[in-house]
Amino acid sequence: MLFTGDKIMKRMFLLVVFIIGIIAINLKVSYAMTGKQLFKKDGCILCHAIHGKGGSFGPNLSAIGKIRTYSWIRRQIRNPKLNFFTPNSFVMFHGKVYESIMPANKKISDANLNKLTQYLTSLK
């Protein structure tokens, strides 16, 4: 009887499909992201490369977990300036000089910050 030309039933059917579509889109948007996905979504990848993918404005992070601790990396994301003993427009990282242009990411949630930091700490 759904497809027997009953206009009201047809409309109801379309309405249900529409509602399911909206729910599906919302589920996808609020779907929790992994640290790896956040690295892309939050723009880190524009300046940092991991395993050959990404920019070179900042240091390569392919093995960052070997040289930095969890708390150090976490602080670097929220407030990079706190990691420099002499705040300057240039910083020396592992024998290479970088212009200190890394933006502080103040809007990242604590949960996402933890995930992103965990991901980076795991790179060894």
CB of 86 to ligand HEC, least distance (A): 13
How far apart are the C-alpha atoms of 116 and 102, rounded to whole Å? Answer: 16
Residue 105 interacts with ligand HEC (CB under 6 A): yes or no = yes
CB of 47 to ligand HEC, least distance (A): 3
- Give the DSSP per-residue string, 51-90: TTEE-SSS---TTHHHHS-HHHHHHHHH-GGGG-SS--SE
How far apart are the C-alpha atoms of 72 and 88, rounded to whole Å? Answer: 18
CB of 5 to ligand HEC, least distance (A): 56
Residue 58 interacts with ligand HEC (CB under 6 A): yes or no = yes
Residues 6+ apart with CB under 8 A from 81: 87, 100, 104
| Closer Cβ to ligand HEC, 27 or 97, answer by number | 97
User: Do the bridges between strand 96-99 and strand 90-93 make them parallel or antiparallel, or are there none, so unpaired?
Assistant: antiparallel
Of the candidate residues 36, 40, 47, 78, the single one contacting ligand HEC (CB under 6 A) = 47
- The residue type at 24: A
Of the candidate residues 35, 80, 112, 115, the single one contacting ligand HEC (CB under 6 A) = 80
Q: Which residues bind ligand HEC (CB under 6 A)?
A: 42-44, 46-48, 57-59, 61, 64, 68, 73, 76-77, 80, 91, 93-94, 98, 100-103, 105, 116, 120
